Amino acid sequence: MTDIHNSESPRTATGLASESDLERLYTVAKTIQVCDARVQKEVKSGILKAAAYPVEGLSGVCAGLALALKSDDYLVSTYRNLGDVIAKGVPLRPVIAEIAGRATGVAKGKGGAMHIADSAYGLMTTTGIVGSGLPIATGLALSSLLAGDGRITAVTFGDGATSIGAFHEAMNLAAVWNLPVLFICQNNQWAEHTPTQDHMVITEIASKARGYGMQSATTDGFDPLATLEVLREAVDSIRAGGGPFFVEAVTYRLQGHTATADYSYMPKEDLEAARKTEPVGRLRGLLESSAALSTERLEEIDSQVLADVEDAFAFAYASDYPDQGEAYTDVFSNKTMEISA
């Protein structure tokens, strides 16, 4: 595997971010970690019947994105979406309710874990079709360019998605039309059972962007501060009219493709090495050792996060499932489908 996590990043100086940034970065990353762990635990035990893909290891990339984007910027995500959803500021209660298929969910319980979206927070769609988010993001960015609204559109996708046709079509068009898109490859080094080297001969995925004349950067996605800095530079460049920007965040998938999938094919030594550099623990260690945030403050944040996650699950499980009649509403954007007997 790519050993980007084994060398200490030169960009970890906490002086690069303000105290409130650091607090927010940690809070978002911790929330993603705790929420994901609870979702996966309940999926494994059968309490939660949902296709909710684990995001362990992505919390640093997602937290960086939370700080780099403005609240009205757009985001398009994938089935592995919980970190992105939390990063975009969608409240936990309707998110967990959606994963649990309850009527109080963001899509009234009709979308489920793979289709969480809430346009009020700029979370435009999440999709289970690998690579399909990129053309959607490119279209959203075109609409912003035509409207002159100053928004940028970010889109997240995996390493596997970069070997799909739609990826290349969207990247090319975004570059040709100089669209305000931030392409973020969450490179966890696996596409289901396939390691990256089995579906591409290059080792630096960001080099694909250069083939389209697009600016790009690679960051250690297990280093939240370094990733925040890279994402902010990319966003600044896009807002200044520099056109699309591609960021490859190198992470590692810390478990199987799904919560319940066998992952005995993943080399144990790679997994063990990657787990030692997991982003939340790494950020916490850095904040404590540099005295950027006190241990007491970090513990307060941890307690609040636990309480918020507990509250969201209690809210979800106390909510009703949608009525059967709801199956025929919200099918089209501005119409109610009428079914005749």
Ligand X SMILES: Cc1ncc(C[n+]2csc(CCOP(=O)(O)OP(=O)(O)O)c2C)c(N)n1
* Chain contacts with Mg ion (rule: CB under 5 A): 158-160, 188, 191
Cβ-based nearer residue to Mg ion, 18 or 194: 194
What residue 252 binds from ligand X, Mg ion, none (CB within 5 to 8 A, per partner kind)? Answer: none
Nearest residue (beta carbon) to Mg ion: 158
What residue 161 binds from ligand X, Mg ion, none (CB within 5 to 8 A, per partner kind)? Answer: ligand X
Q: Which residues bind ligand X (CB under 6 A)?
A: 80, 128-130, 157-161, 188, 190-192
Cβ-based nearer residue to ligand X, 162 or 319: 162
What residue 284 binds from Mg ion, ligand X, none (CB within 5 to 8 A, per partner kind)? Answer: none
- Measured CA to CA, the distance from residue 204 to residue 116 in angstroms comes to 30
Query: Least Å distance between CB 253 and ligand X?
Result: 6
Query: Least Å distance between CB 72 and ligand X?
Result: 26
Cβ-based nearer residue to ligand X, 31 or 163: 163
Query: Least Å distance between CB 188 and ligand X?
Result: 5
Cβ-based nearer residue to ligand X, 22 or 164: 164
What residue 102 binds from ligand X, Mg ion, none (CB within 5 to 8 A, per partner kind)? Answer: none
Query: Least Å distance between CB 191 and Mg ion?
Result: 5
What residue 128 binds from Mg ion, ligand X, none (CB within 5 to 8 A, per partner kind)? Answer: ligand X
Cβ-based nearer residue to ligand X, 80 or 93: 80
What residue 247 binds from ligand X, Mg ion, none (CB within 5 to 8 A, per partner kind)? Answer: none
